[in-house]
């Protein structure tokens, strides 16, 4: 599945062992508050050690490399991407046996002092905290937790880039789903994120924006894709040459804990990233001096699907985002898409993972339908470039397949839409399916080659989309073994909610007419 040594089952067993060490003293939903900062500290330490090892290859020995790193630091210089003080290195932490809670608290604060980008991110946890005069977690379970976390290396070559997001997602799903947002609302499966980066193919110096960035996984994948296509190997790792401009990355995230992980991820990958915390739909963070939205070359996102937003959020918007129509209260999918479109510059492109129903809901209905009408506006303005149907059971919070919608303000093939039915491209996994590397490669080749292949893809005209009432579901145009499209339960519930909303709106209009005529109102049981 991946070249990284820490696969998903191993990761989950490891995290479960870690959580078991602090069961009892700590409420289950709080496990992540203690485990994740230590995982990040371990990752920092392993990456720092890797940096020194790469320098050792260049300078002829590990001892020489360590001396050079320390000497450079004393003179305010750096040979490595960041600096960890000796007490924050994992070997030192493992050997500490007394006053461990205070030691760890001092360590994360020391790391933040040495690396200002981590201030307010890594140093917020107090491992020595008390409640009712008692330590929340004593030193012995903390020591056991550290020993468990010592089992695996977390260097750049050892684990997937968004190991923090993956760990958070597991802990949230395992212990805290009842506490608020469900897992999967922010975490995009690794291979889907890679596919999106392959579709966008970022170029040097581009600006890339994720309005609901979670732990930063999609931004990381864009950064790594640029390294793959334009980087050179130096001291054992890929770097951009001086003449190649890095991506400028921007992200906003509503969940404070997840925002902190995005900041950590950006730091460890040396990404030029500006990550903010806040509610994008109500208060977008990235605006220009005149109050309008900043605009970007690329947008990549996986917003929560079928999110409930009151219509007043759209109707009272001061940023001019929802020019194509007000989405229904039951699903913000086309609200998010319109926000992203408004955030694109004149030649901007976006790839968004969204619920499958966003491509088809409302098509075939008599009369108007909000989502279908917004979709029609996008097609009529020749903005929809591609729709990719993903396999089922990739995402943790649903078994529904999802789609990748590609919007392009400067389409390569005007008047055409590429539809890819990749629903059969998966490897059966436990608990979730996944796309293999060859699946990602095949989809990317079809997209960039604009190829129509029987049983996989079709190219349709905007006029054909109109004849099908703006249904853009790939399964409508690309048949696979005569299989019929089955409506997922989640999709059926959203459509039911939409029908209820439409009925309520019609009842309101009818009652106003009856009232004007002096007749009684209608009521429904």
Distance of alpha carbon 458 from alpha carbon 50, whole angstroms: 46
List Cα–Cα distances, 362 to 115, 117, 372, in angstroms.
Answer: 51, 46, 5
What's the domain count of the chain?
Answer: 3
Domain assignment of residue 485, yes or no = no
pLDDT of residue 499: 60
> Do residues 317 and 289 touch, judged by C-beta distance below 8 A?
no
Q: Tell me, what CATH number does 222's domain have?
A: 3.40.50.150
> Do residues 331 and 355 touch, judged by C-beta distance below 8 A?
yes
Q: What are phi and psi of 45, to 5 degrees?
A: -65, -45
Beta pairing partners, 275: 251
Distance of alpha carbon 247 from alpha carbon 232, whole angstroms: 16
Token pair listed for 237 = 């790792």
CB atoms within 10 A of CB 412: 10
CB atoms within 10 A of CB 399: 14
Q: Based on the domain organization, do 438 and 506 belong to the same domain?
A: no
Q: Based on the domain organization, do 197 and 332 belong to the same domain?
A: yes
- Residue 207 is part of which domain span? 190-234+263-477
Token pair listed for 340 = 């992203």
DSSP 173: I
Distance of alpha carbon 439 from alpha carbon 429, whole angstroms: 15
Domain assignment of residue 248, yes or no = no
Residue 325 — left, alpha, or beta (φ > 0 → left; ψ -120 to 50 → alpha)? left
E-strand stretches of 56-174: 130-131, 134-135
Q: Based on the domain organization, do 17 and 149 belong to the same domain?
A: yes
CB atoms within 10 A of CB 173: 17
Q: Based on the domain organization, do 466 and 511 belong to the same domain?
A: no
Distance of alpha carbon 118 from alpha carbon 121, whole angstroms: 5
Distance of alpha carbon 62 from alpha carbon 44, whole angstroms: 18
pLDDT of residue 525: 52
DSSP 303: P
Residues of the chain with confidence (pLDDT) below 50: 1-3, 177-184, 186, 484
In the sheet that holds 248-253, the strands lie side by side as 272-277, 248-253, 207-210, 296-301, 344-354, 403-408, 384-389, 416-421, 457-461
> Do residues 390 and 397 touch, judged by C-beta distance below 8 A?
no
Token pair listed for 367 = 């009369």
Share of the chain residues as helix, strand and coil, in percent rounded to the nearest 5: 45, 15, 40
Distance of alpha carbon 236 from alpha carbon 59, whole angstroms: 13
> Do residues 400 and 367 touch, judged by C-beta distance below 8 A?
no
Distance of alpha carbon 429 from alpha carbon 208, whole angstroms: 32
Q: What are phi and psi of 282, to 5 degrees?
A: -95, -35
> Do residues 237 and 55 touch, judged by C-beta distance below 8 A?
no
Nearest to 390, CA basis, from 184, 192, 166: 192
Q: Tell me, what CATH number does 73's domain have?
A: 1.20.1260.30
Domain assignment of residue 106, yes or no = yes
Q: Based on the domain organization, do 98 and 214 belong to the same domain?
A: no
Domain assignment of residue 300, yes or no = yes
Domain assignment of residue 239, yes or no = no
Domain assignment of residue 407, yes or no = yes
Distance of alpha carbon 262 from alpha carbon 78, whole angstroms: 24
Which of 144, 179, 214 is the endpoint of a domain? 179
Q: Based on the domain organization, do 516 and 369 belong to the same domain?
A: no
Distance of alpha carbon 342 from alpha carbon 334, whole angstroms: 12
Number of Cα atoms under 13 Å in the Cβ half of residue 421: 22
Q: Based on the domain organization, do 136 and 230 belong to the same domain?
A: no
Domain assignment of residue 98, yes or no = yes
Buried b (16+ CB within 10 A) or exposed e, 426-449: beeeeebbbbeeebbebbbebbee
Does the reported pTM lie above 0.95?
A: no
pLDDT of residue 449: 97
DSSP 287: B
Q: What are phi and psi of 333, to 5 degrees?
A: -50, -50
Q: Based on the domain organization, do 46 and 157 belong to the same domain?
A: yes
Q: Based on the domain organization, do 504 and 402 belong to the same domain?
A: no
Q: Based on the domain organization, do 84 and 208 belong to the same domain?
A: no
Distance of alpha carbon 423 from alpha carbon 404, whole angstroms: 12
Token pair listed for 111 = 């790391």
Q: Based on the domain organization, do 136 and 204 belong to the same domain?
A: no
Q: Based on the domain organization, do 199 and 334 belong to the same domain?
A: yes
CB atoms within 10 A of CB 144: 15
Domain assignment of residue 40, yes or no = yes
């Amino acid at each position: 599945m991946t070249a990284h040594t820490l696969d998903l089952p191993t990761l989950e067993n490891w995290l479960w062992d870690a959580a078991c060490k602090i069961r009892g003293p700590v409420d289950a939903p709080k496990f992540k508050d203690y485990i994740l900062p230590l995982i990040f500290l371990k990752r920092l330490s392993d990456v720092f050690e890797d940096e020194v090892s790469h320098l050792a290859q260049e300078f002829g020995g590990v001892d020489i490399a360590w001396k050079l790193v320390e000497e450079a630091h004393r003179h305010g210089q750096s040979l490595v991407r960041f600096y960890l003080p000796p007490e924050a290195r994992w070997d030192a932490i493992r050997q500490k046996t007394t006053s461990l809670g205070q030691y760890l608290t001092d360590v994360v604060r020391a790391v933040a002092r040495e690396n200002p980008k981590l201030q307010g991110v890594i140093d917020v946890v107090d491992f020595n905290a008390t409640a009712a005069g008692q330590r929340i977690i004593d030193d012995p379970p903390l020591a056991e937790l550290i020993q468990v976390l010592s089992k695996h290396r977390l260097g750049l070559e050892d684990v997937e880039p968004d190991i923090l997001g993956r760990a958070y997602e597991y802990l949230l799903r395992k212990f805290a789903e009842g506490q608020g947002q469900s897992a999967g609302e922010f975490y995009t499966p690794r291979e889907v994120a890679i596919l999106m980066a392959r579709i966008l193919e970022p170029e040097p110096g581009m600006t890339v924006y994720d309005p609901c960035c979670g732990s930063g996984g999609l931004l990381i994948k864009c950064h790594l894709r640029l390294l793959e296509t334009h980087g050179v190997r130096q001291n054992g790792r890929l770097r951009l040459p001086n003449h190649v401009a890095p991506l400028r990355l921007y992200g906003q995230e509503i969940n404070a804990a997840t925002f902190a992980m995005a900041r950590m991820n950006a730091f460890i990958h040396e990404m030029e990233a500006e990550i903010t915390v806040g509610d994008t739909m109500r208060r977008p963070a990235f605006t220009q001096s005149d109050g309008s939205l900043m605009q970007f070359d690329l947008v990549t996102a996986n917003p929560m699907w079928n999110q409930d937003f009151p219509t007043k959020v759209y109707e009272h918007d001061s940023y001019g985002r929802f020019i194509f129509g007000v989405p229904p209260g039951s699903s913000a999918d086309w609200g998010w898409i319109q926000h992203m479109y408004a955030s694109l510059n004149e030649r901007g492109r976006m790839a968004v993972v969204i619920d499958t129903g966003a491509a088809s809901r409302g098509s075939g209905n008599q009369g108007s339908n909000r989502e279908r009408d917004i979709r029609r506006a996008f097609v009529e303005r020749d903005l929809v470039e591609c729709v990719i149907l993903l396999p089922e059971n990739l995402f943790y919070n649903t078994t529904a397949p999802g789609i990748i919608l590609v919007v392009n303000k400067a389409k390569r093939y005007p008047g055409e839409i590429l539809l890819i039915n990749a629903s059969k491209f998966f490897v059966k996994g436990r608990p979730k399916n996944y796309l293999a590397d060859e699946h990602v490669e095949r989809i990317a080749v079809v997209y960039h080659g604009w190829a129509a292949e029987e049983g996989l893809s079709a190219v349709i005209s905007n006029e054909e989309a109109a004849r099908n009432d703006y249904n853009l579901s790939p399964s409508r145009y690309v048949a696979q073994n005569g299989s019929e499209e089955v409506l997922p339960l989640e999709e059926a519930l959203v459509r039911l909610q939409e029908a209820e909303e439409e009925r309520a709106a019609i009842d309101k209009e009818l009652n106003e007419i009856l009232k004007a005529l002096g007749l009684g109102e209608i009521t429904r049981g």
